[in-house]
Structure 1
């Protein structure tokens, strides 16, 4: 009888240890930022990944990388690798390699620049061509610089119509103020992970977060045919974003 009780305690202790050792689920997604130069792609990526905004414009040549890790409900850790592609690269032979393997594509325009909105048609056709033999990624359209709404040149109805015609999700944000930037990326991460986020959870995304920052690389370094480098196993560097 004593042996049976001892065996029961051992099994129960082993079960508790096993449950304690269960690690959170880790996911990793490649997210592409596309759009004309000066629409604010780098500012969006910097705001999301580093919680920062620079008043100085610096053209992106080739592409830059930004990485941030976020925590979703259910203790799901998601690594978002942001590929910031220069606006002049639309005719580049490397473009298909940049886009290939993307889980999500964010097409950006400047709400004060109507031409940048019209050019989204060319960017979208490029995405469709890249994935014509595969599964289309999650595609979102972002209207940036909403802090300049008094200078708006693109009607929201036009943006919604374009998005509806091409089965896209629509977001409006300001990289300068940070308004809706985190909410946008959290919604995308939730969609890719199969986790529905409530409005309060999205609103909370703009609060203080523990984020992992990985220094980005410039000019096509570590681009292996569009493959996604594995950052999930690296020890995070923690900072506080507000």
Structure 2
């Protein structure tokens, strides 16, 4: 793809439709990714459409996030919500086995609706609430088997903490546009972060040690480990 074709592709709006059972944190994921707290006011009724930008790609990509209510599976409106989707993200709660088991019904229904579509959307899994790992009810082996059977890319993260949220959304948008994402350097250089200066990027705080002075290039092991832990929430950029 030439540079002009690449820029033209990224100028179009990418639609991401988020589906799954009630109380899995779909709305929280959307709010977190768009730079909010990750805690919406109340449950979604029908579907809520939000506009934003994928700032992890250059140039930034316009996005339309369609947050579908958990009870939409049993309604005829689901087909309308899925219309023109570039990406469909199936969300489940790591601490709720039933929310994961019900995904098979969601996927079957979605595939039925999209059966006659010439261009199929990219589909992926997102296991939410990884900050409650100690309460995990869904085995990793089950997730891997399910993802393999349905040819789905799988992510795990937390809308509450922001872990892996930006990485998941940016990776999927990059795949739709044919753009490969890479990880930015996690360490500071000459006391400055190599990340953008923005306070937050789609809900992720750039890698730094909040409440501590800027670190020099030479740092002790304890500080280095702390920086590397901060780097676990990855911000993506175009390679």
SS at match of 1:198: strand
> What is the rounded CA distance, in whole Å, between the counterparts of 1:118 and 1:182 in structure 2?
25
Decide whether the 8 Å contact of 1:63 with 1:83 is kept in 2: yes
CA pair 44-71 structure 1, distance change in 2 beyond 3 A? closer
The CA RMSD measured in Å over matched residues stands at 2.7
Moved more, 107-116 or 23-32: 23-32
Decide whether the 8 Å contact of 2:10 with 2:177 is kept in 1: no
Matched positions, count: 188
CA pair 25-58 structure 1, distance change in 2 beyond 3 A? closer
Q: CA deviation at 1:66?
A: 1.6
Larger radius of gyration: 1
Q: CA deviation at 1:163?
A: 0.6
> What is the rounded CA distance, in whole Å, between the counterparts of 1:125 and 1:70 in structure 2?
29
**2:129 counterpart residue number:** 145
Decide whether the 8 Å contact of 1:27 with 1:76 is kept in 2: no
Q: State the TM-score, normalizing by the size of structure 1.
A: 0.71
> What is the rounded CA distance, in whole Å, between the counterparts of 2:199 and 2:75 in structure 1?
38
Q: Give the 4+ runs in structure 1 shifted more than 4 A.
A: 22-25, 201-205, 207-211
Decide whether the 8 Å contact of 2:20 with 2:92 is kept in 1: yes
Q: 1:40 aligns with which of 8, 22, 25?
A: 25
Q: 2:72 aligns with which of 77, 81, 89?
A: 89
CA pair 98-24 structure 1, distance change in 2 beyond 3 A? closer
The answer on 1:80 being equivalent to 2:73 is no
Q: CA deviation at 1:157?
A: 1.3
CA pair 127-201 structure 1, distance change in 2 beyond 3 A? farther
> Residues 38-91 of structure 1: CA distance to partner in whole angstroms, max 9, x if unpaired?
00000000101133122x762211011122112455x33311111000001111
Q: Which runs of 5+ in 2 are unaligned?
A: 1-6, 188-194, 203-239
Q: 2:12 aligns with which of 13, 27, 43?
A: 27
Q: 2:162 aligns with which of 175, 178, 184?
A: 178
